[in-house]
Structure 1
Amino acid sequence: MPTSRSYGDACGIARALDAVGERWALLVVRELLLGPQRFTDLRRALPKASSNMLSDRLRELESRGVLRRRTMPPPAASVVYELTDLGRELEPIVLALGAWGLQLPLPPAPVGLSPTSVLLFLRGSLRPDPQAPPATYRVELDGTVWSIRTHGREVDVEAGAPADTDAVLRTDPATLNALISDPASLAAAVADGRAVVGGDEAALRRLLGSAAAAPAG
């Protein structure tokens, strides 16, 4: 059930932890950084969180003003969860926490890596060539479709399929994470079936080659 526990401390850090310090809360925020998600999307991204636990965290975060529920217009008409303006202010904090966490050892295997997690990392590590033409990529990770757009030095990542596509990549989060670390391994990933590529493969290679950081995990 939702918790109303509090540190009872007036410090802003303690008050922040009252709002987002419960188990899974910040990972829910992470999953919403790239756009609204349905409950089923969140369950798939956070498989070790039970349905009851996830429901509790969503209710708590909603009561704290961090997120809100919204019904999509027809024909979808599904309920989604999205960050409020207050919740959106957590983005640099969550990303900074993630960067700090990369210094720590991985947890014992098996470990998961959500599509949102690796896409956030990709967005932060890309350094596109400002002279390169604008490009749009359709990236499918574990059955979920995302759009990546580059224009000059700008990089946008959002859920959903783009209207126009220059290149397509279908793979899983772990393989994409490996490709960020070693773009030259794309051919091997395609050859052994871990990745499927369509459209302008040179543009896709250019995208992966512009990543300027270590892998997410």
Structure 2
Amino acid sequence: MTDNRTNGDTSAAVVAAIQRIAREQGVSTLSYSDYQRHRTDDDPAAVTATRLFGNWKAGLRAAGLVVDDAEVRTRSQVKRAPAGRRAADDDEAKARVIAAIQRIAAELGGVTTLSTNQYVRYVEDDEPAVITAIRRFKGWKNACAAAGLDPNPYSKAGEVHISDEEALGGVQKAGAAYAEETGKAPRRMTQDFYTSWREANDGLGLPNLAKRFGGWAQVKAKAGLE
């Protein structure tokens, strides 16, 4: 399956991701490397931003962030929000995570456990990303406990898992889409293409694929891409 989103849709996704990460980090500008470090699997890759906007600075401008020659600075060199405001923002972010977890649990019939896969599947666009929940609470179990759910998402039945077979099946579908779009062999599929494909399709993120199957070349080999 190919990604049928328009450039406008993807541009909006890039802008939203840049703004969210800058807000979470309490900064007025964001470097390419910091974006890559803090983006979630569902966010467009930084290279997508440069491809759409021409360069990284243009992407920052589109997101309304400060643009100067210092965007390659480390976060410790960037002016940060006052500590009091950061604490208030953290409390607000945690409250939004808790509300999202509780809403999804209720919609799933009042379940007492919730996995990250379930959260990702049912979270709304205006709710916090799963990686935000993990960072704010220093772990998914802690986030679930704060929302009044069982802190162990694997203790009860009903957990939604992506099996190894399903995960590799997703890689195979992405490889087929890559071959269709580029005319190249599926085994030549890049990580950036897989990430972009996954934005519109179900599938395991690159970090989880690596945990299960090894490096990118091993992932493609185990998926049987030729």
Fold shared, TM-score > 0.5 on shorter chain: no
Larger relative contact order, structure 1 or 2 (CA cutoff 8 Å, min sep 6): 2
Which structure has the highest helix share of the two?
Answer: 2
Which structure has the highest strand share of the two?
Answer: 1
